[in-house]
Amino acid sequence: MKILVLNSGSSSLKYQLFDMPNESPICSGLVDRIGLDQSTLKHKIFKDGGEEVFQISQPIKDHEEGLQLITDLLVDGEKGVLTSMEEVEAIGHRVVHGGDQFASTTIITDEVKQKIESLIELAPLHNPPNLLGIKVAERIFPKAKQVAVFDTAFHQSMPEKAYRYAIPNEFYTEMGIRAYGFHGSSHQYVSKIAFELLNKPDAKIITIHLGNGSSMAAVKGGKSMDNTMGLGPMGGLVMGTRCGDIDPSIIFYLLNQKGFSPKEVNELLNKKSGLLGMTGSSDMRDVKNAIEKGNKNATLAYEIYAYRIQKYIGAFTAVMNGLDAIVFTAGIGENDPDMRAAVCKNMDYFGIQVDNTANQKHSSEIREINPSSSKTKVFVIPTNEELEIGQQTYRIVKGEKI
């Protein structure tokens, strides 16, 4: 069965085609700068253990045109990977916010679309392009099953004491203000692998997703018990451009004493803070280059970044009353041994230790980087959100309850 996974952003369409059930990726790509100048499509075909990559630059006015371009490529006489687009039996859509209405992956119906629409209030930047991707895919692939996989769904198992805020109850009951948690497909994917490696039914795992956006989850017995994000994706860890945890009084100080507008504060904390705000670049590789050149702000930002992760390891170990493994994943988690070492430094109270040679070795494999004597395992597990979405889409289309 061929399954197409779509991640539709405001001006981009990321896609990957899988052959199921063997989970082999057939091709993947990104349509970027939709509706802007210099739109591009980057397409990668996986063949005979290698990759063939090519790029098209042409005006792409909207998502419909973008998806049509992808479809034309999939069935192209020369470069195509399918004989007809009807081979695509299902499309798995990434949907960022499922509120508390979706605790699992679901086949898309009119009612599901209405609910996703009603959640736009909670995710004004993400749910509209996700919904648009669904509507466009329905038109271009009318025979395929459309499936929604929510970033928030994995965290719906959090207990109420973890997801409620200490504000008057009606703000929860009437407005849905609570912690939801994000990066669910990634936390689910890597924790499942760690869970299998540990082979222990009630394994206590902390997953640490460090990309442009970053979050951690406390996963006990395969279920998310807590996470570092809240109502939206701004809380918790230091990120590329988002501030992570701050005292709410900072917001009111800026609004009331310093003359900022709500829009400016939002922009500041979402787009101009985090690594960017502290160092001038949101990219961890730039931050590390700056550290090497002796930049003190970059050194401090790196320390704050690691310190915040350590704090949450402590908090999550406490709420799970134990810890069997921590898992590093995503761009920084997978590729920056120095950050992994900084996070694991002086954490022996938690049984966390890192073997320097294993940690420094460059690899894209799943690996264990703790010394054999370490009480807590330290894993590096490359995430694959697209595959998680593809797997869940396959299972639900086959009629499995997930």
**14 among annotated binding-site residues:** yes
Q: In the annotation, is 151 catalytic?
A: yes
Q: Binder to ligand ADP among 212, 270, 295, 353 (CB under 6 A)? A: 212
Q: Which of 328, 317, 316 is nearest to 358 (CA)?
A: 328
Build a one-symbol-per-residue string for 278-307: x at contacts with ligand ADP by CB under 6 A, - elsewhere. Answer: -----xxx--x-------------------
| Spatial contact of 105 and 153, defined as CB atoms under 8 Å apart | yes
Task: Report the nearest approach of ligand ADP to the CB of residue 287 (Å).
Answer: 8
Cβ atoms within 10 A of the Cβ of 313, count? 22
Task: Report the nearest approach of ligand ADP to the CB of residue 314 (Å).
Answer: 24
Distance CA 245, CA 51 (A): 41
Nearer to ligand ADP, 158 or 239 (CB): 239
Distance CA 369, CA 212 (A): 23
Name which of residues 67 to 126 contact ligand ADP (CB under 6 A).
none
Residue nearest to ligand ADP (CB): 331
**209 among annotated binding-site residues:** yes
Task: Report the nearest approach of ligand ADP to the CB of residue 160 (Å).
Answer: 29
**283 among annotated binding-site residues:** yes
| Spatial contact of 163 and 176, defined as CB atoms under 8 Å apart | no
Considering CB under 6 A, how many residues would be counted as binding ligand ADP? 13
Return the amino acid letter for 80.
G
Task: Report the nearest approach of ligand ADP to the CB of residue 321 (Å).
Answer: 31
**100 among annotated binding-site residues:** no
| Spatial contact of 55 and 43, defined as CB atoms under 8 Å apart | yes
Name which of residues 326 to 355 contact ligand ADP (CB under 6 A).
330-332, 335-336
Paired tokens of 11: 């001006």
Neighbouring residues of 329: CB distance < 8 A, sequence distance ≥ 6: 186, 190, 207, 208, 209, 210, 380, 381, 382, 383
Kindly name the residue from 76, 100, 110, 151 that is annotated as catalytic: 151
Cβ atoms within 10 A of the Cβ of 275, count? 26
Residues labelled catalytic = 151
Q: Which residues of this protein are in contact with ligand ADP, per CB under 6 A?
A: 211-213, 240, 283-285, 288, 330-332, 335-336
Q: Which residues are annotated as a binding site for ATP?
A: 14, 209-213, 283-285, 331-335
